[in-house]
Amino acid sequence: MSVAVVEDPLPGKISVWRARWVLMRYGRPPEPPPAGVAATGQLLALVTEVAARVGVAAPDAVLLTGHGAIRSWASRRRRLLFVGLPLLYCLTVDEVRALVAHELAVVDHRRAHLVARLRDLYEEAADPSRVELPPRVAAVLRATREFASALERKADQAASSASGLHTAARAVVKADLAEFEFADLAFDLEEQVWQHAAAAIQDVHDGWRAAIRAGAVIASVDDDTRTALMSRHPNLAGAIAPLTAAHVALRAADLVPVDPLPAADERALARHVLRRSPAEWTTFAAVPPSAWPGWVVRQARAVHDQVATLLGRQAVGPAEVVEVLLTRLDELVAANWPAQPEPPVEPEELDATPSVVVVMEAALTSRGWRRIHPATPGVLVSETGIECNLHELAVSSAALPDLLALLAAPPV
């Protein structure tokens, strides 16, 4: 008499044979692991400690990547954990623990390679930016939704076990915001350097670290982001709902120590985020200070033009532009985007820096002020050593008088 052997189902009680059928019909062939740099020191120790704390298998290797995300990967023989260097510069130790536990739980399965591929397939189909749902995508969602929900609940539980519910909730929100903010800053910096020197910026991650330390990265969670993250992390949704900008600020405090990177590793991680394949490399220190102001001046000129559209004339200097931005924003938007059903809440500029900061930085730069680091938009220092964070100043209760006083001060 023979006994049938029934394989354990994957999360969501999807059987192994069903998972294989879904992947054969809708998936792509397995891809090799992303490129990475071997992690060392305290980061490696933290991953080992987290695995033991939540009772999951430690990965076969931990690799640093240049992107702002922590992600697991699995094949039939290996489980890898990729840790984004940008997150190590702006998330606390406990927040990193939560994200590590979350990803280790994803591949904590005997058929980890199937789990990882199914998750990728689901996430591609569930892309929130998709405006239409083709029949193939709808079929993928039907086949994988229950699996994805069960997997995410398991991973959320591991994140909570590692660092606590509220820390885990902050971690997933801050990681999402940091990934976007880093990509935005890196794009601007890389574009400016390329225009100046036809070379790629090697120490772009050091620039991100400088921006975080200076308070030049202002992140806030909007309703769409909050809703998407609550849907993606059902076990953390209740703790995500009340989070405010103060809870998700990206700050350089209580970080996981990172060993200094050799130049070759810096270039390898920078290459992950580049949109081109450079033959030449440079550093922030090698780019002359005179190369930077032009970018923000062009941004400010666009805002001046928007104000001129409202006024029907050119503004009388940056002071009037700032006054319009702070007191007549609704009129400004209506004058420049009359046909849009949902006009932007800020006048358009080339990056995510608020328009007030752009105009102020351009004006002060012409008077001798400079960024404290090329990667710190809106955080300036005068020739006499006075530092000013325009982001903080622009949202203060006395924003307009303070900003106008700064513009009226004698040139340094």
Of 356, 343, 379, the closest CA to residue 307 belongs to 356
pLDDT over threshold 80, residue 4: no
Here the tokens at position 16 are: 């192994």
Give pLDDT, residue 5: 40
The three-state secondary structure class of 344 is coil
Reported confidence tier of residue 6, pLDDT bands at 50, 70, 90: very low
Supply the DSSP symbol for 378: T
Helix crossing, 135-163 with 41-54: angle to 10°? 90
Question: In degrees rounded to 5, what are phi and psi of residue 70?
Answer: -115, 125
Reported confidence tier of residue 343, pLDDT bands at 50, 70, 90: low
Mean pLDDT of 289-316: 90
The H-assigned helical ranges of 282-347 are 293-311, 317-327, 329-336
Mean pLDDT of 121-130: 88
The lowest-confidence range among 32-36, 128-132, 180-184 is: 128-132
Give pLDDT, residue 181: 94
Give pLDDT, residue 403: 92
Rounded CA separation 412/408 (Å): 12
350 or 153: whose pLDDT is higher?
153
Give pLDDT, residue 351: 55
Q: Which amino acid is at 25?
A: R
Give pLDDT, residue 1: 40
Helices and strands (H and E) in the chain: how many: 17, 9
pLDDT over threshold 50, residue 262: yes
Give pLDDT, residue 316: 93
Rounded CA separation 227/230 (Å): 5
Give pLDDT, residue 348: 62
Mean pLDDT of 226-248: 94
Here the tokens at position 286 are: 């090698």
Q: What is the per-residue DSSP string for 66-132?
A: SSS-EEEEE-SS-EEEEEEHHHHTTS-HHHHHHHHHHHHHHT-STTHHHHHHHHHHHHHHT-TT-S-
Q: How far is CA 134 from CA 117, 124, 138, 148, 343, in A?
A: 21, 13, 6, 20, 29
Q: What is the CA radius of gyration of the chain?
A: 24
CB 193 within 8 A of CB 201: yes
pLDDT over threshold 80, residue 412: no
Altogether, the residues listed in the chain come to a count of: 412
Supply the DSSP symbol for 398: T
Rounded CA separation 151/154 (Å): 5
Give pLDDT, residue 119: 96
Could you report the per-residue pLDDT of 37-90, keeping only the tens digit for each? 999 899 999 999 999 999 999 999 999 999 999 999 999 999 999 999 999 999
Of 283, 289, 300, 298, the closest CA to residue 372 belongs to 289
